[in-house]
Amino acid sequence: MKVLIIEDEAKAARELASMLKELEEDIEIIATTDSIEQTVSWLQEHPAPDLIFSDIQLADGLCFEIFQQQEVKSPVIFCTAFDEYLMNAFDTNALSYLLKPVTKEKVSKALQKYQDMKAVFQPTAGQEQLQQLIGQLRINYKSALLVYEKEKIIPVQVKDIACFYLDKSQVHLTTLQHQHYVLSTSLDELEKMIDPVLFFRANRQFLINRNAIANAARFFARKLVLQLTVETPETVVVSKARAAQLLQWMEGS
């Protein structure tokens, strides 16, 4: 079994690696990364591991950014000292959520869960069962949002929203019909509420509806620039790290 460890504390990474090798002789620690940037780069350049152990709070941010920037198909066992990220974890390929201090007993149970699920969820029919299980762990996506305009409360269908964007610390939305509203919800919160099949987080400022994309053009340093069917306060640029994921998403894969 090939395992990737994502941990920014060298001592914790060594202790976890030691536990894993003691518990399973066939485990191979193929890499240890300590940041979002390093992990995304590693995942882009190597085959997917069988299993990932990941801390949540890394030196350059929360590990969930990894899953926003790079498609990760490997199951993930999270190891953290905080319990408030539980729902965020299960919006990814979470298999288990271990609270620190991580003990050999906790790791052993998590590995057993991995082996049990691996035995049950084999290709074809097993894959369908796995997708159903992951679907049950996800929250229901909103079909409409309520916006406020003076004394009015207006329901806006999510499918009719062209984009959400952050401007001067305030989140705005523009509809496909060019209507404009201001929201009190953050972009991070909105991203959890709406269907990722329909919306893509282009960067820190923009959350884009696929039906609002007119075209994508190559830009400096292998980035992409999106041309939308509605006006935006600034150019929508997608980083090199997210460009491939965007193109796959645009194809519907």
Length of the chain: 253
pLDDT value for 121: 56
- Cα separation of 136 and 156, whole Å? 26
pLDDT value for 138: 54
Q: What backbone phi and psi angles, to 5 degrees, belong to 26?
A: -85, 5
pLDDT at 220 over 90: no
| pLDDT tens, position by position, 170-182 | 999 999 999 999 9
| pLDDT tens, position by position, 23-72 | 988 899 999 999 999 999 999 999 999 999 999 999 899 999 998 899 88
| pLDDT tens, position by position, 182-217 | 999 999 999 999 999 999 999 999 999 999 999 999
- 99-134-116 Cα angle (round to 5): 70
Phi-psi sector, 15: left (phi>0), alpha (psi -120 to 50), beta: alpha
Please tell me which residue, 117 or 233, carries the higher pLDDT value: 233
- End-to-end, the C-alpha distance of the chain in Å comes to 27
| pLDDT tens, position by position, 69-97 | 998 889 999 998 888 888 888 778 888 99
The rounded percent of the chain whose pLDDT value lies above 70 is 91
Amino acid at 129: Q
- Cα separation of 44 and 39, whole Å? 9
Domain architecture of the chain: domains with CATH? 2-137 (3.40.50.2300), 144-251 (2.40.50.1020)
